Copies of this chain bind each other. A is one copy, B any other.
């Protein structure tokens, strides 16, 4: 099919489910091409997920790290946005179902991401929220801030200990970043605000069943990150699996940790929508895709990002990180256009630019090929890279100003409790 002017309805219809990094990259890469694109998401906004922990830890506001999908795509004439929850996929008839509505497609991209997984204990979620959406972040923020407020009021010593103990489960980047942020809120921001409570007595405990933090990083950097966490008074307990969890605390093999606030940053499981597609699934619920990123028997259905199990050159699946998602998005747009033109699809390969994780206000670790470094330099690199990648110009400037302000005043900007309160 050649690219000539034709009415919208005659154009091939690409439906993208999910407007995270993967889905949005597909849509943007199809700008100006002779296709009609519909992107469906149940939220009205795209989220810059790497900074979500800063909303949870009251450093940033939701509007600093999220933008309406419609506004991101307002200038892209061939893209339409639908806010709806996709309830099913009719593979035989090439239809996406959203409640009573069905949307036909010629090419489908499923990029619905992952939720946290509780290793077969869904009942733990109530006591240990995970961090994937803005609402998750606002919920965690409310729990953190309320814990200090309640600790100030209580006259019961054990209750105060529970309230001032924060447990983060999972020592990947999110867990490390959350633990660092909580420790800094307590020691720097809250310390001046309380009269009877001493926020310096806050205990932050980072648990992981693995034997090191940041398992996807070079072992030397894991060691460095652990040192940096400990310098922030965070107890790092490795090789410790959670065996039980309730409103009063966390059970491990060796003890019971009294706490009212547990944050879950361990384990992902692919969005359940993908179960409706034909294929093989891995333990995390991700569907296997070909090197061209589509389903084995359905070259018109692509699955990418955290929802896809795509094997890299070493035989291991690519990790669920935003650079993989974005590069896959570009490849899918290429392959859709190739297929429309009758050309063969090409295989995905990942260009790993390195990884970074920040630990508190001016510590980080960076793993960039031959360069592996930690401390202030890594933190500055982290700030730079995140500012560059923040999608919208406006957000970038205001987030930068908020960071500069927070850096010099040691004040968090968004320490507001909103939303339904707990008991």
Contacts and interface: CB of A to CB of B under 8 A. Distances in A.
A43 interface: yes
B193 A68 contact: yes
B419 A419 contact: yes
A87 interface: no
Copies of the polypeptide in the assembly = 2
A413 interface: yes
A418 interface: yes
Contacts of A153: 82-84, 98, 101
A416 B83 contact: no
A82 B194 CA distance: 10
Nearest to A134: B418
Contact of A71 (B44, B193, B420): B193
B419 A62 contact: no
B416 A70 contact: no
A135 interface: yes
A405 interface: yes
Contacts of A71: 193, 411, 415
Contacts of A411: 71, 394
A61 interface: yes
Interface string A49-78: 000000000000111101010110010000
A145 interface: yes
A68 B415 contact: yes
A398 interface: yes
A145 B44 contact: yes
Q: How large is the interface on A (under 10, 10 to 19, 20 to 34, 35 or more residues)?
A: 35 or more
B394 A405 contact: yes
A401 B420 CA distance: 31
A45 interface: yes
A193 B74 contact: yes
A409 to B, nearest CB: 8
A70 B413 contact: no
A277 to B, nearest CB: 24
A223 interface: no
A17 interface: no
Contacts of A413: 63, 394
Contacts of A145: 44
Given A80-B196, A135-B419, 7 more contacts: A44-B416, A44-B417, A61-B64, A66-B416, A68-B416, A84-B153, A398-B398
Interface string A79-91: 0111110000000
A44 B74 contact: no
A195 B74 CA distance: 9
A192 B75 CA distance: 8
A134 B355 CA distance: 38
Interface in A327-354: none
B135 A418 contact: yes
Given A61-B62, A61-B63, A82 B152 contact: yes
Contact of A416 (B62, B74, B80, B193): B62
A241 interface: no
A406 to B, nearest CB: 10
Contact of A418 (B62, B83, B417, B420): B62
Given A61-B62, A68-B193, A398-B398, A415 B74 contact: no
A156 to B, nearest CB: 11
A195 B416 contact: no
Contact of A61 (B61, B101, B193): B61
A238 B418 CA distance: 35
A149 B419 contact: no
Contacts of A418: 62, 134-135, 138
A398 B394 CA distance: 12
A249 to B, nearest CB: 22
Nearest 9 pairs between A and B by C-beta? A70-B193, A83-B149, A63-B414, A61-B61, A61-B63, A44-B417, A68-B415, A74-B192, A80-B195
